[in-house]
Amino acid sequence: MTETGLQAEALPADPAAVAPERDLFDKFGPLIAERQALLDSGVRDPFGIVMEEVKSPTVAVIKGRETILLGTYNYMGMTFDPDVIAAGKEAFDKFGTGTNGSRALNGTFHDHMEVEQALRDFYGMSGAIVFSTGYQANLGVISAIAGKGEYIILDADSHASIYDGCAMGNAEVVRFRHNSVEDLDKRLGRLPKEPGKLVVLEGVYSMLGDVAPLKDMVAVAKKHGAMVLVDEAHSMGFFGPNGRGVYEDQGLEDQVDFVIGTFSKSVGTVGGFCVSNHSKFEILRFVCRPYIFTASLPPAVVASATASIRKLMNAADKRERLWANTRQLHGGLKQLGFRLPTETPESAIVAVILDDQEQAVRMWHGLLEAGLYVNVARPPATPAGMFLLRCSVCAEHTPEQMAKVVAMFEAAGRETGVIV
Amino acid sequence: MSDRDSIFETVKAQIEPFNKKGVTVTEATTFQGDLEWDSLTVMDFVAAVEDEFDIIITMNMQAEIETVGQLADAVAKLKN
């Protein structure tokens, strides 16, 4: 299924004189210069980290040094689970390395059906569709379900995949101020009543790790007759009685129309999905271009995901450890005087606010040299022009590792003058 | 003052809190080139204009608006 687009049938008889070639990369000049200035300051490249060896969900070797990982989305530590690995190996042996095709044609194997069943069981929903990444799940579902003349209403801090899903589709796009129920209500109230509307929310916002007031937002959306899609990428496994996410935690199971999720965080492989109770949900397989026009996930990946999802249904101990670790980290950093965007640990993401890029990268560099990896986040990925060091916690971190992490933050923070 | 003129004056007043460079605002002033606003500033400003006039300026419309004059035109149209 390849689309080659429109092609000229013949060259024009009288071709125009050729203009001097312009380098299309000229527009990247300022970014190239900014990166060069950063690297010239002698710090390591925050966006060029290579894991030479990965020893566990929480430890890798970077530049020959054993490093604690506190910047992965391996929340539940499933990447080295023996059952998850065994399931992948078995699928490799039985089904080979890849599918060589789209889900819509030859790319649906036994294990793709199994993983969709595991998702239906996990979420207690009638429909589940697996995409090749979480990014593609948002891209596909959002661009497909809101059409021309209809409206998408999204939080200003939405993930790039949500914005890109809007850009790919033909709907009218309206933004509201981050997590503001009142702003959402006002904007919905100004829209024409008749056209279909989709409100797009996230359970946990990944930059600051703050949780959405979904209960009030969904109530407002329903009041205005909108359907609701919630991205629960950063909450699977440890929010709500069954680990379904923030929407379950806030008691909204019968009110959210679509839930988007990913395998690349708590599940520990790669892939994305949408689950729903909508009676016509299956038609999405025929209208989502990022589902149709890309290769399906390799069988080993989905077999591992199935094993992982089923284990996450009974992961109370991991869940408890994850929250305990998060409380220890958040409390430790707060006590040291670091600026944190949330007063309490709302999710497994703990962000530290820095003054500017230079300070953020110096601090990051100090931590890495000490043997700790965290994420650097900068605008435009971050809200309000913030520079952040983002920590994401894993259930498999030990209390000893967390104590060490806090001590490393203290040393690097004093070294760089971030704390006194 | 015509309705369009008063819209322009209101928009101009709303630009001021975001006008960090102290640019003299005319019909032809551009948001990106002259005011040098980033996407976050644009978001805050658009929300303020929307609330002032009780309208919605969709992101699709925003993509077409480059100058203050164009914004005033769009507001005038949306108000009707």
When the pLDDT of each residue in chain A is averaged and rounded to a whole number, the result is: 95
Query: What is the Cβ-side half-sphere exposure of residue A234, based on CA atoms within 13 angstroms?
Result: 24
* Yes or no, beta carbons of A385 and B40 under 8 Å apart: yes
Catalytic residue among A112, A197, A265, A330: A265
Instruction: Select the residue of A173, A190, A384 nearest B40 (Cβ to Cβ).
Output: A384
**Reduced to 3 states, what is the DSSP secondary structure of residue A68?**
strand
Residue A229 has pLDDT above 60, yes or no: yes
* Yes or no, beta carbons of B56 and A156 under 8 Å apart: no
CB-based contact, B64 to chain A, within 8 Å = no
A173 contacts on B by Cβ (under 8 Å): 58-60
CB-based contact, B23 to chain A, within 8 Å = no
How many CB pairs below 8 A link A and B?
35
* Chain B nearest CA to A10, separation (Å): 34
pLDDT value for A58 = 98
Q: Which of A249, A230, A250 is nearest to A238 (CA)?
A: A249
Domains of chain A: 43-76+316-415 (3.90.1150.10), 80-312 (3.40.640.10)
Q: How many domains does chain B have?
A: 1
Interface subset of A 369-388, CB within 8 angstroms of B: 379-380, 383-385
Contact A130, A273 (CB under 8 A): yes
Higher pLDDT, A3 or A399: A399
pLDDT tens-digit series, residues A265-295: 999 999 999 999 999 999 999 999 999 999 9
What pTM does this model have?
0.93
Both tokens of A317, joined, read: 């101990």
Reported as a pLDDT band with limits 50, 70 and 90, residue A380 is confident
Q: Which of A353, A313, A322 is nearest to A337 (CA)?
A: A353
For residue A340, give the amino acid letter: L
Instruction: Select the residue of B39, B47, B54 nearest A380 (Cβ to Cβ).
Output: B39
Contact A406, A102 (CB under 8 A): no
Cα–Cα distances in angstroms (integers) from residue A374 to residues A190, A231, A294, B80, in the given order: 42, 23, 32, 51
Write out the DSSP string of A198-248.
EEEEESB-TTT-PBP-HHHHHHHHHHTT-EEEEE-TTTTTTSSTTS--HHH
Both tokens of A314, joined, read: 């009974």
Residue A25 has pLDDT above 60, yes or no: yes
Peptide bond into A380 cis (omega under 30): yes
Reported as a pLDDT band with limits 50, 70 and 90, residue A20 is confident
Q: Which residue of B has its CA nearest to A148?
A: B60
A387: phi then psi, degrees, rounded to nearest 5: -105, 125
Range of the domain at B26: 3-79
pLDDT value for A1 = 47
According to DSSP H, which parts of A10-67 are helical? 29-40
**Percentage above 70 pLDDT, chain A:** 96
pLDDT value for B41 = 87
A32: number of Cβ within 10 Å: 11
d(CA B19, CA A52): 48
pLDDT value for A240 = 97
Write out the DSSP string of A72-138.
S--TT-GGG-HHHHHHHHHHHHHH-S---SBTTTT---HHHHHHHHHHHHHHT-SEEEEESSHHHHH
Residue of B18, B45, B59 for testing the chain A interface, max A β-carbons within 10 Å: B59
Contact A322, A75 (CB under 8 A): yes
Told to judge if A206 belongs to the known catalytic residues of this protein, a careful annotator would answer: yes
CATH code, B46: 1.10.1200.10
Q: Which of B31, B36, B24 is nearest to B70 (CA)?
A: B31
pLDDT value for A43 = 85
Q: Is A292 exposed, middle or buried (0-12, 13-18, 19+ CB in 10 A)?
A: middle
**Percentage above 90 pLDDT, chain A:** 89
d(CA A118, CA A108): 15
Higher pLDDT, A382 or A131: A131
Both tokens of A29, joined, read: 């000049």
Told to judge if A265 belongs to the known catalytic residues of this protein, a careful annotator would answer: yes
pLDDT tens-digit series, residues A38-48: 889 888 888 88
pLDDT value for A12 = 64
